[in-house]
Structure formats: C-alpha cells, structure tokens
Amino acid sequence: MRHLRRSPLLPVAEKVAAGERLSCEDGLALFATTDLTGLGRMANFVREARHGNRGYYNVNRYLNPTNLCWVDCGLCAWARLPGVPGGYTMAVEEAVAEASAGWHDGITEIHVVGGLHPTLPYDYYPGLLRALKARFPGVHLKAWTMVELDWIARIGKRDLVEVIRDLKAAGMDSCPGGGAEIFAKRVRDVICANKISGERWLEVARLCHLEGVPTNVTMLYGSVEDDAERVDHLLRIRELQDETGGFLGLIPLAFHPEGTQLAHLPPSTGLLDLKAVAVSRLLLDNVDHVKAYWVQIGEKLAQAALHFGADDLVGTVTEETITHAAGATTEAGISRAGMEALIRGAGREPFERDAFYERVVRDGSGRVLRANRHDFVPAGTAPPGGAALPSHPGSGLDTALASS
C-alpha cells in the first residue's frame, strides 16, 4: 500500500480506513482510477475486515418455468415473444419434474425465475411454490424478481402486498435480485424500455423487505451506462438498505451482448469486471455481501475478484440457461467439490452457506443435516454509515496510511 501515499486515491483510502461513508464523488473517483491495485487493496481490506478469509458458496439449482415474455428487452438473448419458435412454458407438474431431474440431497436452494408470461393465471405462481415445497421440504425457494412480482400483481389484479403475502405463505423464502439492471431512465430506455422503472423496482424490493422477504440486488454493467449512472445505482441501493436492511447481497452482472438486440456492443473487459466488484464493496457499507458471479466473468477472474472485494461465488448454479443464451462459455453448473477447489485455488477458505449465510452441516456422505433454519427479520434500523473497520492482519491499509 506504500504507493497510495502518492495516489489520487489517498483521500478515499483514508475514509475507508476510518470506516467513513464514501460519497458520490468518491465513487466516481474509484471508477475513474487507473490504480487498479490500490482500488483492489482498499476493497480487499473491507472484505477481509467483514469476512476474513472465507469464500462463501451454496449448492443451488436453477429453474426457469417459462421463457415466454412480452417485454422484449434489448439486453436479453434468452426470452421469447409469444408465438416465436423456441418458447416454452412448463405446467406445475412439469416444473417440479424438471427440478427433480439430476436432483441430489446436497441441494439447499432452488432459484426460480422466468419471463413475464402474458396469459399464465395468478394461481400458477403460488401453486408452483407449494408443489416445490411439497416435493423438496426444507429447501430454500428463492423465487421471482421484483419485475416478476410486479407483473404477477398486474395479471392477478391484486395489491402487491397481498401478492407478496400469498407467495410467502406458499413458500417464497427470498427473492433474486435480477431486473435491477441500471436504475437510470436513460439506460433503461435503451436496454429494457418496457420493463418497470428503477423507482418501481426499488419500491417492490422495499415492500418485500417490510413483509419479511429478503432479496438480493444486481447491477448490470458494461452496456450503455456511464460511471455516474453506476454510482447512482449503487447509492440508491445503499439508501434503501439504510431503511430496510433487506438486501442479502449485491451481484454485479457483466453484460453479455451476444444474441441480443445490442450485439453491436463490445463485451465487458476484465478491468471493468474487477472495478465493478471493488467499487460496489466500497460504496455499499451496509450490504454484507458482494458476489462474483463466476458464470458470467469466468472462473479465473472470479478467483481474482475474491481479492477485489467479493466474498461469495454465488453457488454451484446447476442448469443456468439465461447467461449461456447470451454467449457465456462457462460450464452450466459446477460440483460442490469443484467449487471448493475453485475457492481454495484463490487462497480462500471455502464456507458452504445457506441462504442466510449460516454454515451448512453435512454428514460423511454429503447429506445435509442442517441448513435454512434462520428466519429473516427486516432491520428497519440499519445505521446510515459504517463503524470504523477493524484492522485485519496483512491488509496493510492502516499501516500505509499511518506512515503517510
């Protein structure tokens, strides 16, 4: 960290070492910096102060009951408009059978997302959750994004709070964070013009949190947004987290243009991939976890991200299809042993977690003995800033700043 004494990042580094909340201007400076090692050192300092050497992951399976979607987002290569070849919709029984295919007792979470189907009835959604819970008791159901919840309320002509309560009672334990993209209207008008606004996305998340349903949140970077719009996105997340405490973690998502209406755009660079993780970790002082989605950025860069602020590699991600439809070249799933080898290869200690970051306990055969026993309670009193972070041995940040 000695070079930070002569770096433009020094004022930001001093705030990080003191646990002070970073500003919009600080975020812009972090995205603009050419000092990638200094940025990574600061983000790693925060990451290790919070999580030590742990590298979190879970054993999860993806389920996409339908890819029919009327929205026709420019960013998406996976969904199909009704009537277009390649579209599909699973009946509830078919979706349960699909989830059962390749099932093993080690799976602790099912991640359920789909398209905004124009004609599926309201009862399909709680019915699917009840059927999955009956077939897989004890498994955590992370089901439907804020965009999908808004749509379910619209097609059911129901109040959104009523919908959240219905789905929670049917088995919805938490919600994935997709569809957030970038909250700025200028960006959404280009990449997802028919999708709900950024403001509506945040309002749906807020209502989920207040009803005791935690969510993740994402940031899609590398399309047409600029640094200011990325920073604005992160600060809006931080503001809502101050109010509710309901975001479990942030997943930065690299835009994959192949096969989309925006295929003329270049893919994200490794530099931006690491910056997105690091700046997210530094700005989001009230969000516990920042994830490196290995499916999108690749296994090796995800390993590097574990030293640039990320503490979680998301999961084994069995049967992921959405990113692969847009050209991802990673495997469509990885074993638990493979995930642990990936984390150890990055110099981190694997920690298999459940949805609420409690340790999963298994017997000698790998069968789950304990997971998903924790109930989420909305915080509502999250402090608006971070207390000073403890010095972590080997971080070097406090020593370098003191010597400067």
Strands 109-112 and 60-63: parallel
Kindly state whether residue 15 falls inside one of the protein's structural domains: no
Report the candidate in 28, 1, 116, 4 with the shortest Cα–Cα distance to residue 65. Answer: 116
Kindly state whether residue 37 falls inside one of the protein's structural domains: no
Q: What's the rounded Cα separation, in Å, for the pair 151 and 67?
A: 14
At residue 366 the predicted structure's pLDDT band, cuts being 50, 70 and 90, is confident
Rg of the chain over CA atoms, in angstroms? 20
Kindly state whether residue 383 falls inside one of the protein's structural domains: no
What confidence tens digit (pLDDT) does each residue in 85-95 have? 989 999 999 99
The set of residues, in sequence order, having a beta carbon less than 8 Å from that of 55 and lying 6+ positions away, is 306, 311, 312, 313, 343, 346, 348, 349, 350, 351
Kindly state whether residue 84 falls inside one of the protein's structural domains: yes
Q: What is the pLDDT of residue 333?
A: 65
Kindly state whether residue 402 falls inside one of the protein's structural domains: no
Kindly state whether residue 356 falls inside one of the protein's structural domains: yes
User: Is 290:250 a contact under the CB 8 Å cutoff?
Assistant: yes
Residue 350's SS3 state is: strand
Query: Residue 120 is part of which domain span?
Result: 52-370
Q: What is the pLDDT of residue 78?
A: 78
What confidence tens digit (pLDDT) does each residue in 280-317 have? 999 999 999 999 999 899 999 999 999 999 999 998 97
Count the domains in the chain. Answer: 1
Q: What is the pLDDT of residue 385?
A: 42
pLDDT at 390 over 90: no
> Which residues sit opposite 109 in a β-bridge?
60, 140
Kindly state whether residue 34 falls inside one of the protein's structural domains: no
CA 360 to centroid of chain Cα atoms: 20
What confidence tens digit (pLDDT) does each residue in 248-269 have? 999 999 999 988 999 999 999 9
Cα dihedral across residues 370, 357, 339, 258: positive or negative: positive
Q: What's the rounded Cα separation, in Å, for the pair 266 and 256?
A: 9
Q: What's the rounded Cα separation, in Å, for the pair 256 and 80?
A: 17
What confidence tens digit (pLDDT) does each residue in 32-58 have? 999 999 999 999 999 999 999 999 999
What confidence tens digit (pLDDT) does each residue in 66-125 have? 999 999 898 888 788 888 898 999 999 999 999 998 787 688 999 999 999 999 999 999
DSSP 29-77: HHHH-S-HHHHHHHHHHHHHHHHTTEEEEE-EEEE--B-B-SS--TT-S
CATH number at residue 340: 3.20.20.70
